[in-house]
Amino acid sequence: MTSNSALQEGVMKTVVESSKTIALRMHLEANNGIKGLELLQPHEIDRAVERFQRDGFVVITDVLDEEQTKFLANGCNEVAAQILALDHERNGNRGSHRYSFGGSSLTRSQLHRPEWQMLLEIAVVDELVTAIFGSGDYSLRAASGDFCLPGAIGYQPLHSDVGDWTSVSKSRFSSFHDPRGQLTIRDLPCPYVCVNFLPQEVTRLNGPTRQIPGTQHSRVPIPTLEDEPEWMRLSTVCPAPAGAIMIRDVRAWHGGTPNISDKMRAIPNLEFYAPWFHEPMVPGITYSDHKKLSKRAQFLSRFCVADSSEPLKTEATLWAP
């Protein structure tokens, strides 16, 4: 059985919809999505930076061509099939029917795969990230992303992907600390961005990311699912076409939403540190594969390469950060 057919078998199980799910579908079809969502073109660099700084995210269409989009989609399907083979109950590692590509690899990354390596070579992404940071001297953090299956009918709590320093017993992936207690990481320029790539259209029904505009600098506590207002639940980045990217300030509040379509929704990513920011790293690409990349891609992934004498263990796992 091919990986694609195995994946199809995993996601196309017959489900008798409850009246609650049917009502949710009708509600999302009628109301889901950020009103007036602006989709920019790759040449609109200055406008993209302006929208990113204002909202904490921006969507750019026509970044991947048809061949690149298909190649990426096939890679996502192959990795998803490997992960799902370990989770017959679909418990997920980010909640029911939700999975992290990075959290499902011993390297915390999919950089060992050619599909994610390809993403490092896309010039307009480099141009956009350089413009956002004001410098090309940034670096790759990881090549990851997530996917959700039909049956992910719950909402993931709103969250931020980075925070101030905490003890190593809680997390070794935290860096910023002001001993005076006056500044938080939210008072600073963007420390790192996530570039999500869309290998398929993102619709109102297949689990679009909800993104709360302008929250990247907010010190207000993030609301729980119980306290979250309905407008936030509907503040989703959709519709957006296949081949587009979404660049996010990882501090901005965001979360997963229900996938009540009949297909998997994947958003593989590249994550980049600002030139002035760094956290502990886990190697994600072998020395020999690293040497096959372009000089620019080698520079961007300079902190992610394993030593030439070190093998890279990339087995699938259900571990998640």
* DSSP string covering 35-82: TT--EE-TT-HHHHHHHHHHHSEEEE-S-S-HHHHHHHHHHHHHHHHH
Give the distance, in angstroms, between the CA of residue 18 and the centroid of all CA atoms in the same chain: 30
Reading the block at residue 239, the tokens are: 């519709």
Mean pLDDT of 219-236: 97
Query: What per-residue confidence (pLDDT) applies to 1?
Result: 53
The residue whose two tokens read 């030593």 is 307
Query: What per-residue confidence (pLDDT) applies to 12?
Result: 47
Which one-letter amino acid corresponds to residue 244? Answer: A
Mean pLDDT of 105-132: 95
- Backbone phi and psi for residue 40, each to the nearest 5 degrees, phi listed first: -100, 165
Q: Cβ(24)–Cβ(98) under 8 Å? A: no
Query: What per-residue confidence (pLDDT) applies to 164?
Result: 77
Mean pLDDT of 27-56: 98
Rounded Cα distance, 310 and 21, in Å = 49
For the chain, first and last CA: distance in Å? 31
Q: Report, in this order, helix, strand and coil percent for the chain, each rounded to 5.
A: 25, 15, 55
The model scores a pTM over 0.95 = no
Q: Is the pLDDT of residue 262 over 60?
A: yes
- DSSP at 135: S
**What's the chain's average pLDDT?**
91
Reading the block at residue 287, the tokens are: 């020395």
Q: Is the pLDDT of residue 255 over 50?
A: yes
**Domains of the chain: residue spans and CATH:** 18-300 (2.60.120.620)
User: Interhelix angle for 45-55 vs 123-133, to 10°?
Assistant: 50
Q: Is the pLDDT of residue 102 over 80?
A: yes
- Backbone phi and psi for residue 51, each to the nearest 5 degrees, phi listed first: -70, -40
Secondary structure of residue 88 in the 3-state scheme: coil
Q: Is the pLDDT of residue 275 over 60?
A: yes
- 140-175 pLDDT, tens digit each: 999 999 999 999 999 999 999 988 777 667 666 667
- Among the residue ranges 150-164, 207-221, 233-247, the one predicted with the least confidence is 150-164
Query: What per-residue confidence (pLDDT) applies to 90?
Result: 94
Q: Percentage of residues in the chain with pLDDT exceeding 70?
A: 91
Q: Single out the residue of 163, 130, 131 nearest to residue 252, CA to CA.
A: 163
Give the distance, in angstroms, between the CA of residue 3 and the centroid of all CA atoms in the same chain: 22
Between 248 and 105, where is the model more confident? 248
Query: Binning pLDDT at 50, 70 and 90, where does residue 13 land?
Result: very low
**Sign of CA pseudo-dihedral 8, 13, 16, 20:** negative
- Among the residue ranges 15-19, 28-32, 129-133, 196-200, the one predicted with the least confidence is 15-19
Q: Cβ(256)–Cβ(276) under 8 Å? A: no
Mean pLDDT of 296-316: 90
